[in-house]
Amino acid sequence: MKDNNNDIKIGVYICHCGSNIAGTVDVEKVTNLAADAPHVVIAREYKFMCSEPGQDFIIKDIKEKGLNRVIVASCSPLMHEPTFRKACEKANLNRYLFQMVNIREQCSWVHKDIKSATEKASALINAAIRRVVYQEPLETFKVNVNPNTLVVGGGIAGIQAALEIAESGNKVYLVEKKSTIGGKMAKFDKTFPTLDCSACILTPKMVSVAQHENIELLSYSEIEDVEGSIGDFKIKVRKKARYVHDNCTSCDECTKVCPVQIPNPFDENQSFRSAVYKTFPQAIPNTYVIDKEDRPPCRETCPIGQEAAGYIGLVAQGRFEEAASLIREQNPLPIVCGRVCYHPCESECNRKFVDEPIAIKNIKRFVIDWEMNQYGGPKPPIIEKKRSEKIAIIGSGPSGLACAHDLALKGYEPIIYEKLPVPGGMLAVGIPEYRLPKKLLNSEIDYIKGMGVSIKTGIALGKDFSIKDLFKQGYKAIYIATGAHKSLKMKIPGEEEFVGVYHGVDFLRNINLGNSQPVENRVAVIGGGNTATDAARTALRRGAKEVTILYRRTRKEMPAEEAEIQAAEEEGVKIQYLIAPVEVLGKSGKVVGLKCINMELGEPDSSGRRRPVPLEGSKHDLGFDMVIIAVSQSPDIEFVDDQTNFKLSKWNTFEVNQETLETNVQGVFAGGDVVKGPATVILAMGYGKRAAEAIDKLINKKPMRDFKTHINKILPERDENSRPHSYAPKFKDTLKKPRIKMKELDPKTRCTNFEEVELGFSEEEAKQEAARCLNCGICIECHACERVCEAKSIDHNMKDEIIEINVGQVLITTGFNTLNCNSLIPYGYGEFENVYTSLEFERIVSSTGPTQGNIVMKNGKEPRAIGIIHCVGSRDINYHPYCSRVCCMYALKFAHLIKDRTKAEVYQFYIDMRSFGKGYEEFYSRILEEGVNVIRGKVAEVAKFGWSNNGDEPLIVRCEDTLIKKYREIPVDMVILCNAIEPQPDAEKIQRLFSISRSPDGFFLEKHPKLDPTATATDGVYIAGCCQGPKDIPDSVAQASSAAARILANISKEEIEVEPIQAYIDPELCAGCRLCNNLCPYGAISFDEEENISKVNEALCKGCGTCVASCPSSAATAKHFSDEQIFAEIEGILE
Amino acid sequence: MIEKRENTSIIPGVLGKKEKHLRDSLLQQILNIPGGESIKKCIQCGCCTGSCPVSYMMDITPREIIALFRAGEIESILSSRAIWICASCYACTIRCPQGVQVTDILYALKRLAIDQKIFPKRFPVYALSESFVSLTNRFGRSYEPGLILLYFLKTNPLKLLGLVPLFLKLFFKGRIGLLPKKIKGRETFSRILREAEIMEMVVPVQES
């Protein structure tokens, strides 16, 4: 091509466009200049090139003068490029040898000076003349159109379009974000100007959608990802979990028992709804939904996944029995947990960002105490089938008991072997009586025994039997949960030497078992954990005169529970911080004191706590008669013998598979402190429950995965600016309510006996405390709905699904949002309770709304006068410069409804009354006849009346009545703000997903505002309804039908012509660097392993040019936009 | 009944001579105000009047002023009291949905009134305003005896005599002084004022 430039014959045609171009551009001069340019054979000017005679010039000249390039300088190619391309094709000239120059929109219309406009037009034409030389003929190709269509948004526009397309026999996927279709129209009571009932005309269409065989409704779903182009889009849709299956019968039993009440967004937050709900009675689909955002942190952080928020919600409503059964469903040792749990739930409770966490442990204790008082204990559970497989559990601590409990529920009859003479492990011998009375512990153990568990005490593994023995006896699985009962030594001089030095757990064990344990007058307890406080308080109760806890860090780092430390201090225990003993001092074989050294805090260590560092020269002696060392414990693993080789860590803990708890010995599991090292009751129970599930899987020969038992999760960061759920205020704005403190025995008298210190909550206290719960994540998982659901539809474990669909075309009907009125301070929204937004008032007048359609104020009285303010945030450069188009008419509708239902005076404050549609002006006239006051003037502000008699506080609307040229203050009881229609908050996301554009106002941009209002710049993607701009229902429906027609036209064509403007990779030049492969946004470039070059897939390439720009060896070129074409064009302009 | 008015011309699209002169002088002032152009965008909603804390005392409302300006009735604006009542709180400007700089336009009108000496009848607020500004410009702060003197000399000198007893009473109670109090750095202050006037193009820039 480049070498036979001489054969190029160009024809240039310059259009006057009436006076549109000729008025500013000297067409004659431009034509003469063009005629002199190289290769130009003919240059003509004509009044209207787009007319039939204009086109005939081109056709004739091609035929007669043998033109092989054609340039038309006229309007935008968006308008007439297809016209002239067709003309060229009529004369057998390839359409890509034609070039259009825009000298109207880009020249004559934007310039005033004839001389410079002429120069510019000439430069633009010259550029085209230079460019067209390098243009090459290209062949268009066709793609098949997938007849399926995706409609995004189930408002009235989406419903209308979906039905029209489906009626033609083609499949439609209707994706709706909310749980029901119907959109905003479902909220309205009446529609203007005909005043027909919105529901009556909308719901039949909604039902048709549900029943239509060609419509697949994906409600509660959002578009995740879009790939492909016209004819073949691949769409990923996230179907959010409804937590209710489709077999829901809509019986509404669930909402009656749900303890959660949140503001109902369908009623614009003017009423409340439960967490399980159906948006409105005629909702489609008919299935209920559970509103579940994040899982509550109390449950997430609990090692056994106890649904604390659930029973707290039930307690708040006084439903103690249900609460007790919910606790028992997940917790095998609720009496223990209600008293001694380390409650990680409270540490993570969101309420801590407001004031103090909920007293979850205490509420649990109340519920279980209530159950015991009411029924004398729990009813034994029904265990369906008994299993014969033998399972042994070593250790009857919390881990062993939890494991036995869960296995018993599954029908097994496990046997627990306990080394100590009493069952309960640390619960029995580590925790003092005053915290956990033995009687209660035993009732808990008896309950588990009642389920078919047997406990053999005083039999020690390693001494009385071995692991091998158990397998020989036919045990199928063994769970080792022997805990950490061995005290760690401090390894300081004198520790082993003198009488009067004891170790924490040994001391507590002796007391708990009733063994002889002397207690002296002055007692030192070394350590900062719960064992230290337990030992200190026990020593006090056993007659010690003075007890001192020595701890090497500060109170902030102390691992013991804060409540325990406080209780110890109240009882008179002294605590010395930043001090550590270095030697036990003794005289004649007996302890006389400790040599101590002061410490200071250095850098944080691996646990995140600051490491204590000894202070040089601070050694001093303290006098004591007895020393209890409670620094830490380790597992006592004397039972490990040579016959079974367990893998142990350097801390003598068992190494297990963290998910399945299997040890290296087949059939042997381990958990609790023996794995974790000394930790908490609840963590040990978590291990026990997991082990029970693992053992069940082993016995049933199921794969060791997909475990259901909960494992405590690390929670995401939150702060005081977060919210418990999206309908709640921020933590910092939440009303403060202090935590209720549990009553305790008097510290003065209690330290002489072992009576239980904490006295529990009263019913009223428990309810009050439970009412502080913030309902994190909305659904609190109390499972009350599950229990009443006869259809068994509710499934709290449902997960989001990703569905992939293939469609040929897409229609976007995502609708609108309304302006948030909080930013309009002068109108007092949010400050005065009787200032409403238009949607709020729509719900007020709706018979299914919060007031059943009665127009009343917040105090329940009928208003005497109502002001309706138009143009709130519309026609206002501070908010939205555009007119929202529907406000005037719905404001008139409101006026009519108010007049119809009340005696109130109505004032319409308008700037210009826009009643433009069919029957609208007549409606305006009708409202005037009804005696509505219309005041022409924008309201400046709404204020409270300065003073009031008899508590009557009307609002004052200040404005200028522009028609009487007077400033007026009009007293009203209620104000309705006709707030602006604005784009949906997620419009940007939709814009990106479908690569469409938005106009400056934020609404989706149509291809042409007059001639193509439903198409977008992206082929195959259409828009309809308010997502394109504010419009009323008739217009939305009309636009939706028109979009449906456009889509059906393409479907019936079956094939669509696609512009061949695509990338091409020259195989000679490609170096195979693969840079373009990943850059291509359409995945159109693949690497040919055999030839070692990249290749473009023409069906996918959109001709965006990314590869062209990135190619280091210039192998990639864009057809019709090659480098030489562009350079020639630039040179032409600059010439 | 058609009233033939001096201001109106009978040639289509042409303003009367005086009105044209007023309009041109005002437009020159308005175009100096940042955003002054937006006067063309006024949609006559009356939000300015509604927001105005003193509009209830105005004989024509702020909105009407803009309407009159458009209608070629600048003389009736200048002969109204409204522009002199404005308390410069800028509420109208802040709330205007079209960004019209109402307060600044009223200032332009006040300057035009002073230039053209067109004032409302029996409403000498402009005289008070002039007196106040000239004294403040001179001393850097208000000088009350001077203000009273200047104002009444300009409006009703006879009334001054009647004020003497009140003045004496105030004087002996130490509520009013005889001599003006001046601020420090008056030189700098007048330079600032001068610059501001040049910026506002109240006075033509003199070539030095």
pLDDT in tens, A18-46: 999 999 999 999 999 999 999 999 999 99
Q: Which residues of A touch B46 (CB under 8 A)?
A: 936-938, 959-962
Q: Per the CB < 8 Å rule, is B47 touching A966?
A: no
Whether A981 and A884 have beta carbons less than 8 Å apart is answered as: yes
Interface of A with B in 845-904 (CB under 8 A): 871, 875-878
Residue B203 pLDDT > 60: no
Instruction: Write out the H or E segment, with its range, that includes residue A991.
Output: helix A987-993
Considering only CA atoms, which of A838, A824, A840, A811 is closest in space to residue A1027?
Answer: A811
Contact B47 A960 (CB under 8 A): yes
Find out whether A124 and A95 touch, Cβ atoms under 8 Å: no
What pLDDT is attached to residue A4?
Answer: 57
pLDDT reported for residue A612: 87
Chain B residues whose CB is inside 8 A of the A913 CB are none
For domain B17-116, give the fold. Fumarate Reductase Iron-sulfur Protein; Chain B, domain 2 (1.10.1060)
Output the pLDDT for position A7: 86
Chain A nearest C-alpha distance from B122 (Å): 22
Give chain A's mean pLDDT: 92
pLDDT in tens, A761-786: 999 999 999 999 999 989 999 999 99
Contact with chain A for residue B14, Cβ under 8 A: no
What was the pLDDT predicted at A523?
93
What's the confidence (pLDDT) of residue A1? 42
Q: Does A382 touch chain B (CB under 8 A)?
A: no
Contacting residues of B for A961, CB less than 8 Å apart: 46
Instruction: Please tell me which of the candidates A877, A912, A958 has its beta carbon nearest to residue B50.
Output: A958
Q: What is the mean pLDDT of residues B102-128?
A: 89
Query: What is the DSSP secondary structure assignment for residue A186, as one 8-state letter?
Result: G
- Identity at A19, one-letter amino acid code: S
C-alpha closest to that of A263 among A788, A838, A775, A770: A775
* Longest distance between any two alpha carbons in chain A, whole Å: 132
Which pLDDT belongs to residue B6?
55
pLDDT of residue A228 exceeding 90: no
Higher pLDDT: B165 or A1099? It is: B165
Let me know: does A383 contact A451? Beta carbons within 8 Å: yes
Bridge pairing between strands A974-979 and A865-872: parallel
CA distance to partner chain B, nearest, from residue A912 (Å): 8
* Chain B nearest C-alpha distance from A729 (Å): 29
Q: Identify the closest residue of chain B to A956 by CA–CA distance.
A: B50
User: What average pLDDT does this structure show over A1050-1078?
Assistant: 89
A224 within 8 A of A774, measured Cβ to Cβ: no
ipTM of the complex: 0.84
pLDDT band at A644 (very low <50, low <70, confident <90, very high): confident
* Structural domains of chain A, ranges and CATH numbers in brackets: 5-140 (3.40.50.920), 149-240+807-814+986-1057 (3.50.50.60), 297-379+717-780 (1.10.1060), 390-485+636-670 (3.50.50.60), 497-629 (3.50.50.60), 816-983 (3.50.50.60), 1062-1118 (3.30.70.20)
Chain B residues whose CB is inside 8 A of the A940 CB are 47-52, 91, 95
Question: Measured between CB atoms, which of B43, B49, B97 is closest to A960?
Answer: B49
| Per-residue model confidence (pLDDT) at position B140 | 87
Minimal CA separation from A938 to chain B, in Å? 5
Cα of B150 to nearest chain A Cα, Å: 34
Candidates B43, B55, B91; nearest CB to A875? B43
What is the average per-residue pLDDT within A954-977? 94
Nearest chain A CA: its distance from B61 CA (Å) = 7
Q: Report, as an integer, the average pLDDT of A948-973.
A: 88
State the smallest CA–CA distance between residue A878 and chain B in angstroms. 6
Q: Touching check for A943 and chain B: CB below 8 Å?
A: no
- C-alpha B178/C-alpha A924 separation (Å) is 67
From the list B43, B55, B61, the residue facing A911 with the nearest CB is B43
pLDDT of B1 reads 40
Provide mean pLDDT across the span A647-653: 86
Interface check for B47 against chain A (CB to CB < 8 A): the answer is yes
DSSP state of A835: E
pLDDT (0 to 100) of residue B7:
54
Q: Which residue has the higher pLDDT, A181 or A143?
A: A181
| B76 inside 8 A of chain A by CB | no
Q: Sorting pLDDT into bands at 50, 70 and 90, what band is B2?
A: very low
With beta carbons under 8 A apart, name residues in chain B contacting A936: 46
Say whether pLDDT at A946 is over 80: no
Of B43, B55, B99, the CB nearest to A967: B55
Q: Determine the Cα–Cα distance for residues A1020 and A155; give it in Å rounded to an integer.
A: 21
- Look at residue A574 and tell me whether its pLDDT is greater than 80: yes
CA distance B67 to chain A (A): 11
End-to-end CA distance of chain A: 23
- In chain A, which residues have their Cβ closer than 8 Å to the Cβ of B43? 875, 911-912
Closest-CA residue of A relative to B43 is A911
Say yes or no to pLDDT of B42 above 60: yes
- Give percent of chain A with pLDDT exceeding 70: 99
CB contact under 8 A, A958 and B51: yes
Contact B97 A938 (CB under 8 A): yes
Q: In the predicted model, what is the mean pLDDT of residues A977-1004? A: 94
Q: State the pLDDT at residue A827.
A: 95
Chain B hits for A960, Cβ within 8 Å: 46-50, 55, 61, 63
Given an 8 Å threshold on Cβ–Cβ distance, is B49 in contact with A878? no
Tell me, what's the pLDDT at B207? 46
* Contact with chain A for residue B51, Cβ under 8 A: yes
Strand partners, A1085: A1096
Contact status of A1073 with chain B (Cβ, < 8 Å): no
The pLDDT of residue A871:
95
Mean pLDDT of A805-813: 96
Torsion angle (degrees, nearest 10) of CA A500, A502, A507, A513: -70
Percentage of residues in chain A with pLDDT exceeding 90?
A: 73
Which residues pair with residue A227 across a beta bridge? A234
SS3 content of chain A, % helix, strand, coil (to 5): 30, 20, 45
pLDDT exceeds cutoff 60 at B208 = no
- Which of left, alpha, beta for A852 (phi over 0: left; psi -120 to 50: alpha)? left
Of A876, A958, A962, the CB nearest to B63: A962
Q: What is the pLDDT of residue A2?
A: 46
Q: Over range A779-798, report the average pLDDT.
A: 93
Q: What 3-state class would DSSP assign to A969?
A: strand
Min Cα separation B69/chain A (Å): 15
Residue of B nearest to A909 (CA): B45
Q: Given CB atoms, is A595 within the 8 Å cutoff of chain B?
A: no
Q: How many angstroms separate the CA atoms of A990 and A1004, rounded? A: 9
**A938 CB-side CA count, 13 A:** 26
Q: Stretch A222-246: mean pLDDT, rounded? A: 93
A937 touches chain B (CB under 8 A): yes
Report the interhelical angle of B125-139 vs B144-155 (nearest 10°). 140
- Whether B46 and A941 lie within 8 Å, measured CB to CB: no
In chain B, residues under CATH classification 1.10.1060.10 are 17-116
Nearest CA among A369, A374, A413 for reference residue A392: A413
Stretch B31-43: mean pLDDT: 87
